[in-house]
A and B are shown apart, each in its own frame.
Chain A
Amino acid sequence: MDEDLDLIARTEAGERDAFNELVLKYQKPLYSLLYRMVSSHEDASDILQKTFVKAFTGLGSFERRSTFKTWLYQIAINLAKNVYRDRSRAVHVPIDDVVIRRNPHTLEALIRKESRQLLKESLASLPEKQRITLVLRVQEEKKFEEIAEIMGCTVGTAKANYHHAVQKLKAVMQKPAGKPAD
């Protein structure tokens, strides 16, 4: 990531092109991550902008112990967590309610459109760390080592969070209608 460090140095020296280059490089992957976390363009866009603003105003506190990309992800995830917590205070959808509303009985039925909505709701009902880990692993295609660095935990914890998340989703999608998840 020497290229990033060079761009950061030039940004700190006041070079606007370097600043723009860093934004252009990371805006799409970060937006994708944020959208999957908050499921709304308005929120994802707002958090994305705040992430970059926070990163550039706090460049002095970037200690280069991780990559710039990982540091950006950490900022974005922390900001998204706040939005998510505010939302879950406002509307709480217990995972059992999601199960009761489900229609398909078999995993093959997951292909159907309505199942996608069910999966989305189930994903949103997962505990925060499990959900973020699953998004990073499956949708962002991160290695467990990267996830551990972003989440500030051990690789073992990252793997455990991932497995718990997958198990819960599988349980939700496989249970017959009306039965709560274990």
Chain B
Amino acid sequence: MTCRNTDIREMLAAYRSQRLDPEDAKRIEGHLAECGECRDELALLRMLSDEAVPDPGEAYWASLPGLIYDQVGKERTAKKPAAFDWSRLLNPFPRWAWASAAAAVVAVVAWFALHPGGGSPVREPSESPGEQTAIYDLPLDDPVDVTDMSTPEITAVTQWADNATAPIGEAIDQVLAEQSDQDFGNELRVLNARELNRLLHKLSQDEREEANGERTNIGKLGIA
């Protein structure tokens, strides 16, 4: 049967290590004289506490603080932030930022190329501060009627349109020029004599028409 005197049982460990005051120690001894359960428990506690812990030796204890100190130093060094990379000052943006910016520029140019009349001319500032304010004050959702515009406003809008479309026009001219300089040798090699003759005939015809003042589209002279 288990002893239910928890006060005594909780003090058994302290009794074993002689940490009780004389009065409590006497109470425990009185209880132990009557309770076999608590005597068994005390024997168990003695056995547990008697389990020896081997001493690693003075050399071990003496070397331990140094080992720990070195390890702490290593871990603190490992946790320190890396040295400042000065090259980042010269190139503050990562590669992906440059790539994104380039893609955005291409997208904007392509949009203007596909929508030459797009954009809002009223957003472009004019040369004159007074006119600039007037143009910026126009509401975006209110379409502008050219007949309502004053001469300086029309001049400002025209100037904006010229400025905005000039780079696009240059880009298109450049592409066409590059195409005209393209070497079609590979494509011509796959044609037989009859097809070459037809092509030469077509080219001669186009040259004649151009000479007669008709506009021809050089792009349509393709092999296809």
Contacts of A120 in B (CB 8 A): 51
Q: Is B14 an interface residue (CB 8 A)?
A: yes
Q: Quick check: A19 and B40 within 8 Å, CB to CB?
A: no
The stretch that binds A, out of B67-75, B135-143, B206-214, is B67-75
Which one of A49, A110, A115, A134 contacts B71 once the chains associate, using CB atoms below 8 Å? A49
Tell me the B22-60 residues at the A interface (CB within 8 Å).
40-41, 43-45, 47-49, 51, 53-54, 56, 60
Looking at the assembled complex, report how far the CB atom of A58 sits from the nearest CB atom of chain B, in whole angstroms: 10
- For residues 33 through 51 of chain A, which have their beta carbon under 8 Å from a beta carbon of chain B? 35-36, 41, 45, 48-49
- The answer for the CA separation of A110 and B17 in the assembled complex, in Å, is 19
Q: Are A138 and B49 in contact (CB under 8 A)?
A: yes
B10 within 8 A of A: yes
- Residues of A within 8 A of B (CB-CB), count: 42
The reply to whether B68 and A138 form a contact with Cβ atoms under 8 Å apart is no
Q: Which residues of B contact A52 (CB under 8 A)?
A: 68, 72
Asked if A107 and B10 make an inter-chain contact with CB atoms under 8 angstroms apart, the answer reads no
Whole-angstrom distance between the Cβ of A100 and the nearest chain B Cβ: 20
CB pair B41–A139 under 8 Å, yes or no, is no
Residues of A within 8 A of B56 (CB): 31, 41, 45
A24 touches B72 (CB 8 A): no
Asked whether B219 is an interface residue with its Cβ less than 8 Å from the other chain, the reply is: no
Chain B residues with CB under 8 Å of A115's CB are 47
| A75, B168: Cα distance in complex, Å | 70
When distances are taken between beta carbons in the complex, the residues of chain B under 8 Å from A71 are none
A167 at the interface (CB under 8 A from B): yes
With known contacts A110-B44, A134-B48, A170-B41, A32–B68 Cβ distance under 8 A: no
Known: A119-B47, A139-B49. A27 touches B14 (CB 8 A): no
Nearest CB of B to A57, in Å: 5
Partner pick for B68 among A53, A139, A144, CB 8 A cutoff: A53
Q: Are B71 and A170 in contact, with the CB atoms below 8 A? A: no
- Separation of A116 and B40 alpha carbons in the complex (Å): 15
The answer, yes or no, to whether A80 is at the interface (CB within 8 Å) is no
Flag whether B19 is at the interface (Cβ < 8 A): yes
CA distance A115 to B41 in the complex (A): 15
Question: Does B222 belong to the interface (CB within 8 Å)?
Answer: no
Shortest Cβ distance from A12 into chain B, in angstroms?
A: 12
Say yes or no for A169: interface residue by CB 8 A criterion: yes
A137 within 8 Å of B by Cβ?
yes
Given known pairs A49-B71, A56-B72, A120-B51, the reply for A138 and B79 (CB within 8 Å) is: no
Q: A114 an interface residue at 8 Å Cβ cutoff? A: no
Verify B51–A116 contact, CB threshold 8 A.
yes
Say whether B103 faces chain A, with CB atoms less than 8 Å apart.
no
B71, closest chain A residue (CB): A53
**Out of B6, B19, B65, which one reaches A141, CB within 8 Å?**
B19
CB distance from B77 to the nearest CB of A (A): 11
Interface string of A126-166 (1 = CB under 8 A from B): 00000000100111010010000000000000010011001
- 14 of the cross-chain contacts (CB-CB < 8 Å) are A20-B69, A23-B64, A23-B65, A31-B56, A36-B51, A52-B68, A53-B75, A115-B47, A134-B48, A138-B49, A159-B10, A169-B48, A170-B41, A174-B40
Instruction: Identify 8 new A-B residue pairs, CB closer than 8 A, beyond the known A115-B47, A138-B49, A141-B14.
Output: A16-B69, A57-B72, A116-B47, A116-B51, A119-B47, A138-B13, A159-B6, A159-B10
Q: Could you list which residues of chain A lie within 8 angstroms of chain B, going by C-beta atoms?
A: 16, 19-20, 23-24, 27-28, 31-32, 35-36, 41, 45, 48-49, 52-53, 56-57, 107, 110-111, 115-116, 119-120, 123, 134, 137-139, 141, 144, 159, 162-163, 166-167, 169-170, 173-174
